[in-house]
Chains A and B, each alone.
Chain A
């Protein structure tokens, strides 16, 4: 009788774990589908990226990445180790920062079963010509996407310094078997 209860508990645990494995990757997709119809929110994001900033407008105190095409506005974290990725977006410490020109590189997980679950899940929704902004030390750096590409994990040239100010964002791809990296490259348009 006691063993029967243990067996029931084991069965429930197995169903919950496998349900989590199957359902979790679908959640960010559903959330994106719901958010992309929220035109007011997207309009707000678009304005925060490209509209002139009034003198009395409050600016974010922390560094942030805003990308309306993936309905995205999240903090960028700095740190010397990969453990920083557990917080969310990570500015690669070996690369430049928006205020210094050259190549600023920001990375994030596509999907994990631990935290954060899917920072850059919708990076594939970003296309050439889209606007992206980085708030860095109180200034807004407005970029336009010039290229999206998929590279192998050994193509470290993606992080190399550049002559012109550039923003590089990358994450894992494809979603289910992440053997490559999806890279979005954007060039600086203006600073406010």
Chain B
């Protein structure tokens, strides 16, 4: 596998990880009854 292909895969995984972190944090943030 070329370094370029690895870069594209890893970049995708990084974005997915950040999205997961954002989602996990937001899911817990709306604590107040509404």
Contact = CB atoms under 8 A, between A and B. Distances in A.
The 7 closest A-B pairs by CB, nearest first: A10-B10, A113-B25, A3-B3, A17-B17, A156-B33, A7-B6, A112-B28
A6 B7 CA distance: 8
Contacts of A178: 27-28, 31
Contacts of B30: 153
Contact of A7 (B7, B18, B25): B7
Interface residues of B, number: 22
Contacts of A151: 33
Given A11-B10, A107-B32, 5 more contacts: A10-B14, A92-B32, A156-B33, A156-B34, A170-B33
A178 B30 CA distance: 9
Interface residues of A, number: 36
Interface string B1-34: 0011011001101100110110011011111111
A20 B21 CA distance: 9
Interface of A: 3-4, 6-7, 10-11, 13-14, 17-18, 20-21, 82, 85, 92, 107-114, 151, 153-156, 158-159, 170-172, 177-178, 181
Given A14-B14, A18-B17, A21-B20, A4 B3 contact: yes
Nearest to B4: A3
A17 B3 contact: no
A166 B7 CA distance: 58
A14 B20 CA distance: 11
A17 B2 CA distance: 25
